[in-house]
Homo-oligomer: A and B are copies of this chain.
Amino acid sequence: MAKSRKPAEQVEDVELQGHIIDSLLLPKVLDEILTHGGSYVIKEIRLGQRQVDPSFARIEVRADSAERLDEILDAIHDHGAVSTTDRDCAYEKADIDGAFPENFYSTTNYRTEVRLAGHWVEVEDQEMDCGIVLDLAEKKARCIAMVHVKKGDPIVVGRQGLRVMPAETTARQHLFEFMSSSVSSEKPKGVTVREIAAAIRRTKEGGEKVLAVLGPAVVHTGSVEHICAMIRRGFLDVLFAGNALATHDIESALYGTSLGVWLDRGLPAEEGHEHHLRAINTIRRLGGIEAAVKKGVLKSGIMYECVKRPVPFVLAGSIRDDGPLPEVITDVLVAQDKMREQIKGVGFCLMIATMLHSIATGNLLPAWVRVACVDINPATVTKLADRGSHQTVGVVTDAEPFLRALVHELGDDKMTR
Question: Of A8-16, A161-169, A314-322, which stretch is located at the interface?
Answer: A314-322
Partner of A30, one of B31, B47, B99: B47
Residues in A253-277 with C-beta less than 8 Å from chain B: 258-259, 261-267, 270-271, 273-274, 277
Per-position 1/0 for A20-31, Cβ under 8 A of B: 011010110011
Q: Does A292 contact B (CB under 8 A)?
A: no
- Please state if B321 and A332 are interface contacts (CB–CB under 8 Å): yes
Closest to A172 in B: B31
Q: Does A117 contact B (CB under 8 A)?
A: no
Question: Of A82-90, A190-198, A344-352, which stretch is located at the interface?
Answer: A190-198
Q: How large is the interface on A (under 10, 10 to 19, 20 to 34, 35 or more residues)?
A: 35 or more
Minimum C-beta distance from A266 to chain B (A): 4
- Please state if B146 and A281 are interface contacts (CB–CB under 8 Å): yes
Q: Does A140 contact B (CB under 8 A)?
A: no
- Contact A147 to B323, CB < 8 A, known contacts A191-B266, A330-B331: yes
Per-position 1/0 for A69-107, Cβ under 8 A of B: 001001100100000000000000000101110101010
- Contact A266 to B360, CB < 8 A, known contacts A49-B39, A217-B186, A402-B398: no
Question: Of A204-212, A231-239, A300-308, A376-384, which stretch is located at the interface?
Answer: A376-384
- Please state if B129 and A322 are interface contacts (CB–CB under 8 Å): yes
DSSP class of A's interface residues: helix, strand, loop or mixed? mixed
A211 vs B216: C-alpha distance when bound (angstroms): 28
Chain B residue numbers with a CB within 8 Å of A192 are 266
Minimum C-beta distance from A280 to chain B (A): 7
Question: Of A118-126, A333-341, A365-373, which stretch is located at the interface?
Answer: A333-341
A42 vs B42: C-alpha distance when bound (angstroms): 14
Q: Does A410 contact B (CB under 8 A)?
A: no
Chain B residue numbers with a CB within 8 Å of A356 are 318-320, 356
Residues in A172-193 with C-beta less than 8 Å from chain B: 177-178, 182-192
Chain B residue numbers with a CB within 8 Å of A282 are 102
Complex A-B, nearest 9 residue pairs according to Cβ-Cβ distance, in ascending order: A401-B401, A191-B266, A188-B222, A189-B400, A319-B360, A320-B360, A178-B266, A99-B284, A186-B220
24 residue pairs bridging A and B, Cβ less than 8 Å apart: A22-B27, A34-B49, A74-B271, A78-B271, A102-B285, A146-B323, A178-B266, A183-B382, A185-B221, A185-B377, A185-B398, A186-B217, A188-B263, A189-B398, A190-B400, A192-B266, A317-B332, A317-B333, A318-B319, A319-B336, A331-B331, A398-B401, A400-B401, A401-B405
